[in-house]
Amino acid sequence: MQIAITSGKGGTGKTTVATSLSKSLAGTRNVYYIDCDVEAPNGHLFLKPKIEFQADAVIQIPSIDQAICSVCGRCVEICQFHALAKTPQEILVFPELCHGCGSCTWNCKTNAIQEIENPIGTIESGVTAEGILFSQGILKISSPMPTPIIRQLRKCPTLSEDTIVILDSPPGASCSVVETLRGCDYAILVTESTPFGIHDLYQILGILQDLRICAGVIINRYDGNSVELEQILAEKNIPVLLTIPFDPLIAAGIAAGGTLIDILPDTKQIFLEMVAQIEMSLRVTQ
Amino acid sequence: MNDQRNKTPQLIILSGKGGTGKTSISAGLVHLWHQQNSTGRLTVVDADVDAANLNLLLNSETLAKHEFWSSSCAQIDPENCAGCGDCIAVCRYDAIFSDSPEAVTRRVDPIACDGCAACVYACGRKAIRMISQLDGHWLHSRGDYGMLFHAELLPGKENSGKLVSLIKQKAQKWAEVVNSPLMIIDGPPGIGCPVISACSGTDLALLITEPGLAGLHDLQRIYATLKHFKIPAILCINKADLYPQGTLELESYAQHESIKLVTKIPFDPNVHQAVRAGMPLTAYAPTSAAAQSVITIMDEVLRWMASRA
């Protein structure tokens, strides 16, 4: 089962929930945590895995053999992303615009294009002290494209049937979030009951509807006043799975690298019950 | 050269990590500018196009809403498709599939399609074409405190970077026309495509962070990004008293990198309440501790502007 932790708005507590949930399940279930927030991957700070594997995340970009190239400009016409440009003398490649689709290479009439690997980040895997399998993607500084790294991360190794995969999503509601959510069985939306949280939640709900993924909500930094949010969720038939109160002690504990179950050990049981509830609701809808 | 001198200076608010207070501080700065200098016409940009919230605090009235068509998606004509599978072979995004093992024709999953058109060129029967997609809207609004350029990316769409570039272009044009003294850009979280677009052409970045391992980690990544693009930065630590040890670590990092620390904002419930009230913090609770810190930031911004003149 794959559960994505997402939010729309940034800083609502996605990583806190994802790492706490992973640690709660460890020991009773096989858990695989994937940090898909490749622009700001923070899960490792809380799960402290021992990294055993590291590889470049790459996309295939064109390399043009100027000796063979006839400068016909066919590749420039074909490229949808303006990653190639034609000058009177040669074809120029702009690697930061290239999506790595391969189209220019296949369509070159003189076979002057070869693909080379362009590293856009790193992928790391390992295991934590509790036995949680861990992977994260790290976008290279100044590289604009997180989505291919997420795609590579999502190509999971073969896992045992009962493994719970926890995907820690990036904030926002653009293509990188879609790449994280695609193929998930369930989404936990971590939000806060403010106009910001609600506005951004709507964006995510739009994506979940397109992808037909069931969801539940965790209200973080709960201040006892969430009438508007709960009304919206009731209308959309989305359950509130949990509320987490605002508490300076929790904030300080997380800042120091703790998860909720380190700070408040009782939450482990709450998370386990939450997962049981999610599994049950999925069985009902299937 | 003349152009460069006359260009409206651009201040961008960034953080790396989400939810550190970028929008609250941006709205406070916009409000303070209006209060202190009501004749200067500020240009305001919300560059967080997939979670655009600045408008919720500035209470602005939309003057115009424009469609943003940018990406495209492949579409297979079932009448023409022979089911040869050549399109599947070239698609690196696993976006082409069959409805069932018996089905002859192929279909495109619009969510998975990257818009590369490789399938269009691979199809011997010319059965595939690219269809333009509406990716969102960009808006230009008059708020209580200045002209706001913002956008709404449709859920899950691509090209947020292009949309950011577009609203910045529009904002820049307007700024030139009215001779705007300052552009304030509320940036997106992260360090990827929309951040890079939002940073382009900016003159100073105000980094908002919060104490803790995650805040520091993401600050390091956004600062490395700014260094790469040669954009100078100043720093502000939000909720500084929630984890004093982390604040010390941030201060030591700032010192090591020679980033000027402008102010430390204490945790202040007024920030949350101002968001709930839909008002800039400095208007909602002008004497609060957090609002005082925003005033300190404004003073620093004014000093920076004076030093450029």
d(CA B252, CA A178): 38
Over its C-alpha atoms, chain B yields an Rg (Å, rounded) of 23
Residue B1: predicted pLDDT: 39
CB B277: neighbour CB atoms within 10 A? 15
d(CA B239, CA A175): 31
Selection from A105, A69, A106 nearest residue A87 by Cα: A69
The whole-angstrom distance between B213's CA and the closest CA on chain A is 6
d(CA B29, CA B42): 10
Q: Assess whether pLDDT exceeds 60 at residue B2.
A: no
What average pLDDT does the segment A276-285 reach? 91
What average pLDDT does the segment A82-109 reach? 96
Residue B69, chain A, CB below 8 Å: the answer is no
- Mutate which of B96, B193, B197, B279 to test chain A, going by most A C-beta atoms within 10 A? B193
The whole-angstrom distance between B177's CA and the closest CA on chain A is 30
Please state the φ and ψ torsions of residue A42, each to the nearest 5 degrees: -120, -5
What percent of chain A is modeled with pLDDT above 70?
Answer: 99
* Alpha helices per DSSP H over chain B: 2-6, 22-36, 55-58, 86-90, 118-122, 160-178, 193-199, 213-228, 244-257, 269-277, 281-284, 289-308
Residue B168, chain A, CB below 8 Å: the answer is no
d(CA B250, CA B228): 21
Tens digits of per-residue pLDDT, B164-222? Answer: 999 999 999 999 999 999 999 999 999 999 999 999 999 999 999 999 999 999 999 99
- The shortest CB-CB distance from B275 to any of A37, A171, A196 is to A196
Residue B37: predicted pLDDT: 73
Residue B53, chain A, CB below 8 Å: the answer is yes
What average pLDDT does the segment A172-177 reach? 94
DSSP secondary-structure letter at B266?
P
Residue A103, chain B, CB below 8 Å: the answer is yes
Cβ A139–B191 below 8 Å, yes or no?
Answer: yes
CB B100: neighbour CB atoms within 10 A? 6
* Interacting residues of B255 by C-beta distance below 8 A, sequence separation 6+: none
* Alpha helices per DSSP H over A69-142: 74-78, 103-107
Per-residue pLDDT band for B6 (boundaries 50, 70, 90) equals: low
Whole-angstrom CA distances from B146 to A238, B34, B282 are 38, 8, 16
Per-residue pLDDT band for B4 (boundaries 50, 70, 90) equals: low
What percent of chain B is modeled with pLDDT above 90?
Answer: 88
**Token digits for B280?**
């800039």
d(CA B46, CA B48): 6
Residues of B in contact with A100 (CB under 8 A): 92
Q: How many helices (H) and strands (E) does chain B have?
A: 12, 11
CB B22 within 8 A of CB B187: yes
Residue B135, chain A, CB below 8 Å: the answer is no
Residue A195: predicted pLDDT: 95
Residue B228, chain A, CB below 8 Å: the answer is yes
Please state the φ and ψ torsions of residue A16, each to the nearest 5 degrees: -60, -50
Q: Which of residues 146-205 of A touch B (CB under 8 A)?
A: 146, 151, 170-178, 182, 194-196, 199-200, 203-205
Residues of A in contact with B23 (CB under 8 A): 196
Q: Assess whether pLDDT exceeds 60 at residue B100.
A: yes
d(CA B31, CA B38): 10
- The shortest CB-CB distance from B51 to any of A42, A171, A182 is to A171
pTM: 0.95
Q: Tokens 């996309």, residue?
A: A59
| Amino acid in the structure at residue A285 | T
Tens digits of per-residue pLDDT, A180-225? Answer: 999 999 999 999 999 999 999 999 999 999 999 999 999 999 988 8
* Interacting residues of B302 by C-beta distance below 8 A, sequence separation 6+: none
Q: Is the ipTM of this complex over 0.90?
A: yes
Please state the φ and ψ torsions of residue B173, each to the nearest 5 degrees: -60, -45
- The shortest CB-CB distance from A173 to any of B20, B51, B196 is to B51
Residue A210, chain B, CB below 8 Å: the answer is yes
B43-46 and B260-264: which strand pairing?
A: unpaired
CB A277 within 8 A of CB A269: no
CB B134 within 8 A of CB B110: no
What percent of chain A is modeled with pLDDT above 90?
Answer: 94
CA atoms within 13 A on the CB side of A35: 28
Q: Tokens 């498709």, residue?
A: B81
Cβ A107–B121 below 8 Å, yes or no?
Answer: yes
- The shortest CB-CB distance from B153 to any of A174, A211, A251 is to A174
- The shortest CB-CB distance from B17 to any of A10, A80, A254 is to A10
CB B13 within 8 A of CB B26: yes
Tens digits of per-residue pLDDT, A52-94? Answer: 999 999 999 999 999 999 999 999 999 999 999 999 999 999 9
Cβ A42–B190 below 8 Å, yes or no?
Answer: no
Selection from A168, A153, A66 nearest residue A113 by Cα: A66
Q: What share of chain A is helix, strand, coil (3-state, %, to 5)?
A: 35, 30, 35
Residues of A in contact with B228 (CB under 8 A): 141-142
